[in-house]
Amino acid sequence: MIYAIMVLGIAMLLFALIFIEKKFPKKIHKWIKIITFIFILTYAFRLLNFDKFDNIIGLQCDYMSKGMVAWMMLLKTMLPVATIVTAIEPFRTTYTTKNILRFFVPVVTLLNIIMYKQNLMMFFGTSNVSAFTLRGIFFATELIFMGGISAYYLYKFIINFEKSKRYLNPLKCILAILGLMIACLPVNFFQTLFGIFGEEALDFNFTHRAVIYLSFIIPLLIYFGFRRKSKEECKTLLIYLATSCLITFCYTIDINSLNYTNLPLHLCNTGVFLIFIAFVFNIKSIYYFTFFVNVIGALFAMFMPNYSGSLFIAENIRFWYNHMYVFFLPVLAMVLKVFPRPTFKMIKGAIGVFTIYFISMIIANAWINTFASVDYFFLQGDTISKHAQFLTDWKNLYIWKVVIRGVAYSTSWLFDIFVYVGYVFLMFIIWLVYDYLFKAQDHYTRLNELDKIDMLNIRQLKKRLNGDLTLPINIRGKNMINISHFTKIYAGSDKKAVDNFSLKVKNGQVFGFIGHNGAGKSTLIKSLVGIQSITGGKIEVCGYDITKQPLQAKLNIGYVSDNHAVYEKLTGREYLNYVADLYLVSKQDREERIERYSKMFHLENDLDREIKGYSHGMKQKLVVIASIIHNPKVWVLDEPLTGLDPVSSHQIKSLMRKMADEGHIVFFSSHVIEVLEKLCDRVAIIKQGKLVGEYSSEELKAKKMSLEDIYLDSADDVVEDDVKSLIVAGNKGSKESN
């Protein structure tokens, strides 16, 4: 009779949902959620009642055959998966869980209806059971709700078959089902099927280490499997895992025997409930408490487990399942970006809540231990104190007693303070670890993004250049520098260092670049040579885009920086050969150029000395030689004459003129206006990141204009009159020295 009632109940619920959908289509989802909520309450009642089946060891059972015990254990493993999917899917849907609800849940429901009597035998531990006991009625109601909801989803799939079949992925569903079965494995699974076996997972023996390694490997696998999923998909996953954790924890809880001596008040036990609440209801304050407090507690519990006996005893399996979940779920929620990263301020709130919890546990231990034995947060037993003799002494000697109505309540005050301070200290340490991991994650995320951009650029370039990446992207610009609408904004700043800057420099020119300190000269030059990224616009060197074709562009550039950094433990010759190797210069060419330029700059007798013994001027000349060892088409110099003696300065200026006359582009910045006027074919002035003007030497001579006057006029709002006078005085001094 009970079987007919369950089948009829499922059919009635299915038709009721179909009727609601047709008559009130906008309210169907609301009704499904209401029915699901009632289903959850029904399941909770059954879950919090102990099953006699959990006492079976090694298939030895008086009321079932061994084969039936194994089959019922498999069914007991599948049922939580069906329950979790039924309970969560109406609230957080994905294609995979929807398909599990359509196809897997009806099968599990049908199997449990067929094995209904055996389920009751599991509950009560006897073959003589009535179908109409209170637990039996609740279980039958649970199956009716689960069957009706899953049947409705299957009905929706059938009537929308053409649309729904596109999202049907059997392999993905099977993998998800297997993953969920492992996630909410009954804690008595191994004990029931295989008996008591295996060593204790204690004192870092092989079994202990293996379980700890597994605690780190599992979240890593989950992370790599879901790191590219959407935030909503990741959040749904975490809710499923948190629910699995809660179900696993409740397997061995019997609400009938629950009292104040066995309440789940241990830190990690409370963590199971707090994580579930934080994930389901998206409560950030509770989540950050679990992130800062529960994770540390679970980690220490795993390193110092307080149990005895084989790893595969039901209670020990529950210990590891719960602590593994409490350890990695908050961290997983953070790295999958379900919750925003915490600020340092949040750790203060976590410490405040922990303080309240810690004081509450001291009071609870003192009160309950007057008439029963408890050890909340391990403040009573020797789980912590056994690891150091001084802690044992503090625990036994420094005791504070309070007598209330003739009853003495006591606590080891110095030991408690030590535990509290130590735990808070660990919270700060773990914050530093988190902060380091966040930075590492950002670094590798950025690298991954850059790799994707590079691969996309390469594919686009191959298509555009017919597969030959050595060709310039702009064949018309092969003899020029083309800067188009270049903009640079540094990280952490809203100000544009360079703003919409455009400039063309043709070959055969010495092109000067001038601007006050902070105007954007070095910023533009560093982006031109590919040292730093470009915020907006583009820069082409000899037709090669510096962003999309950096290698080809840099092979055409020789660069003299303003700081002249070199490898000082190398000799001058070793350094020049090193640079020549980078630019693929042949042996014959490099030897000829090293000899020629070293004689030009009077370094031939110093090339075989270590660079650390060179003067500033010698290092600068070595850098100049290194920048032209590959005979670049574009020679870029940033303040090249600073700190040089007049002879060396004259040599570099002569070489710049010679390079331009041979058809190269010489692009350099300087503060010495007299040099710019005499040496440059064209000069550009930059002010506050913008191009003020571009002038040719012929234009200035024809109009009898002074570059010095033009520059000072452009700098009116940047330099004061006294600074202008210093610039003029400095230029006069340069004229006299030259």
Alpha-carbon span 23 to 16, nearest angstrom = 11
> Is residue 50 in some structural domain?
yes
> Is residue 278 in some structural domain?
no
Residue 251 has pLDDT above 80, yes or no: no
Alpha-carbon span 663 to 634, nearest angstrom = 10
Task: Name the band, by pLDDT with cuts 50, 70 and 90, for residue 68.
Answer: very high
Q: Which of 162, 195, 228 is the last residue of a domain?
A: 195
Quick one: pLDDT at residue 132? 83
Task: Name the band, by pLDDT with cuts 50, 70 and 90, for residue 445.
Answer: confident
> Is residue 366 in some structural domain?
no
Neighbours of 523 (CB within 10 A): 20
Quick one: pLDDT at residue 285? 86
> Is residue 172 in some structural domain?
yes
**Percent of the chain residues past pLDDT 70, beyond the cut:** 96
Reported as a single tens digit per residue, the pLDDT across 449-497 is 888 887 887 888 888 888 887 888 888 888 899 999 999 998 878 889 9
> Is residue 115 in some structural domain?
yes
Quick one: pLDDT at residue 178? 94
DSSP for 200-245, please give it. Answer: ---TT-HHHHHHHHHHHHHHHHHHHHHTTS-HHHHHHHHHHHHHHH
Number of domains the chain is built from: 2
CA nearest neighbour of 76 among 46, 108, 30: 108
Average pLDDT of span 375-396:
85
> Is residue 301 in some structural domain?
no
Alpha-carbon span 607 to 571, nearest angstrom = 6
- 105-109, 233-237, 733-737: least confidently modelled range: 733-737
How far is C-alpha 226 from the chain's CA centre? 12
Which residues touch 40 (CB under 8 Å, ≥6 apart)? 87
Beta-strand relationship, 536-541 and 480-489:
antiparallel
Residue 738 has pLDDT above 90, yes or no: no
Q: Which of 173, 195, 217 is the last residue of a domain?
A: 195
Give the containing element (helix H, strand E) for 277. helix 267-281
> What's the Cα-to-Cα distance from 519 to each of 133, 488, 522, 608, rounded to whole Å?
86, 12, 8, 40
At 554, which CATH number?
3.40.50.300
Task: Name the band, by pLDDT with cuts 50, 70 and 90, for residue 259.
Answer: confident
**Domain containing residue 106:** 1-195
The mean predicted confidence, pLDDT, of the chain is 87
> Is residue 453 in some structural domain?
no
Quick one: pLDDT at residue 732? 45
Residue 45 has pLDDT above 80, yes or no: yes
In residues, how long is the chain?
Answer: 738
Quick one: pLDDT at residue 716? 54
How far is C-alpha 446 from the chain's CA centre? 10
> Is residue 715 in some structural domain?
yes
Q: Which of 133, 163, 195 is the last residue of a domain?
A: 195
Task: Name the band, by pLDDT with cuts 50, 70 and 90, for residue 701.
Answer: confident
Alpha-carbon span 184 to 202, nearest angstrom = 24
DSSP for 163-188, please give it. Answer: HHGGG--HHHHHHHHHHHHHHT--TT
